Amino acid sequence: MIELHQFRPFWGLPNASPFCMKAETYLRFRKITYQVVPGGPRSSPTGKIPYIVDDGRVIADSEAIIAYFERRQHVHLDGELNKAQRATAFFVRELVEDRLYWQITYMRWGDPAGWAVFKPDLVKYLPMGMRGPVLFLLRGSLLKQMRQVGLDPANPEAAYAKGKPVLNALSNLLGDQPYFLGDQPRSLDMSLYAFLANIVDQPYGNPLQAHARTLANLADYCERMKALCWQDWPSA
Ligand SMILES: N[C@@H](CCC(=O)N[C@@H](CS)C(=O)NCC(=O)O)C(=O)O
């Protein structure tokens, strides 16, 4: 049985880590049987989750996990894409995963209003040993990294102003299509859906979520992907 090592579900989301949710969305989409092994990054060979263990073989990194299983498929998810579409998928994924990862992190750890609602729930979710000084140090390190990418806890308006153009660009890229690269879901959709769902479906509102919800085609897209891969998951 394939083991998927990742965080336990949290905050009504299948996974509060968009990278974990991406890998799991893919496994579900491909109907690959797996079992979740709940845990954190410390047990991962790369220090990051998700990773899978398949018959003793360890594969870390959401993109590497998708590539590993795609190699075994008769029809590849991205097989029909032309070179320009593949290049678009590559650049969009790289940019969105970087920018929205920090926006999602900021919504929870950086924005003082977000931290006020995130912290109490996080403390209950974390193992005892991570609740006190460890959590304090972890947040300190994240705040430093957020400042380095221009997301200042003292200025949420300016921080979210960096995330909104990413959502606008995604909305424009999607347009009237059901999926980002046309009529069929591709590997890019596993990533973009997981990142968008972590914004649209998180339980407490913030300016980035409010903006995402005004972009009707992105909201419809999330519903479409949810119906495809997470139908059994309760609505936010
Ligand atoms: N490129 C990796 C990124 C994974 C990643 O950043 N995971 C985060 C959770 S969202 C993590 O494990 N962070 C722990 C750390 O940086 O210490 C992937 O696609 O899987």
Q: Are 186 and 198 in contact (CB under 8 A)?
A: no
Pick the atom of ligand 1 nearest to 60's CA.
20
Same domain for 61 and 97, yes or no, is no
User: Which of 70, 96, 115 finishes a domain?
Assistant: 70
Same domain for 40 and 89, yes or no, is no
Same domain for 107 and 64, yes or no, is no
Taking only the tens place, the pLDDT of each residue in 176-201 is 999 999 999 999 999 999 999 999 99
Does the CB atom of residue 47 touch ligand 1 within 6 A? yes
What distance in Å separates the CA atoms of residue 32 and residue 110, rounded to the nearest whole number?
Answer: 36
* Angle, CA 86 vertex, CA 84 and CA 92 arms, to 5°: 100
Residue 7 predicted with pLDDT over 90: yes
Listed residue (142, 232, 201, 192) closest to 10, CA to CA:
201
Distance 44 CA to ligand 1 centre (A): 10
Question: Per the domain annotation, does 105 fall within a domain?
Answer: yes
What distance in Å separates the CA atoms of residue 116 and residue 133, rounded to the nearest whole number?
Answer: 17
Q: pTM to 2 decimals? A: 0.97
Backbone angles phi, psi at 114, to 5 degrees: -70, -45
Taking only the tens place, the pLDDT of each residue in 127-181 is 888 888 999 999 999 999 999 999 999 999 999 999 999 999 999 999 999 999 9
Question: Per the domain annotation, does 236 fall within a domain?
Answer: no
What distance in Å separates the CA atoms of residue 134 and residue 136, rounded to the nearest whole number?
Answer: 5
Rounded to an integer, the average pLDDT of 6-33 is: 97
Same domain for 138 and 116, yes or no, is yes
Pick the atom of ligand 1 nearest to 50's CA.
20
Number of domains in the chain: 2
Q: Best substitution site from 48, 63, 65 to test ligand 1's pocket, by max atoms within 8 Å of Cβ?
A: 48
Does the CB atom of residue 63 touch ligand 1 within 6 A? yes
Residue 235 predicted with pLDDT over 90: no
141 is in which domain, residue-wise? 83-229
Compute how many other C-beta atoms are within 10 angstroms of the C-beta atom of residue 10.
18
Residue 127 has what pLDDT? 87
* Start-to-end CA span in the chain (Å): 30
Same domain for 110 and 65, yes or no, is no
User: Token pair of 190, please?
Assistant: 């596993």
Side-chain half-sphere exposure of 140, counting CA atoms within 13 A: 6
The share of the chain scoring above pLDDT 70, in percent, equals: 99
Rounded to an integer, the average pLDDT of 87-110 is: 98
Listed residue (215, 216, 103) closest to 160, CA to CA:
103
Average pLDDT, the chain: 97
Residue 82 has what pLDDT? 98
Residue 236 has what pLDDT? 57
Task: Name, in order, each residue with C-beta under 8 angstroms of 72's C-beta and a sequence gap of 6 or more.
Answer: none
Side-chain half-sphere exposure of 6, counting CA atoms within 13 A: 29
Question: Per the domain annotation, does 235 fall within a domain?
Answer: no
Question: Per the domain annotation, does 75 fall within a domain?
Answer: no
What CATH number did the domain enclosing 202 receive?
1.20.1050.10
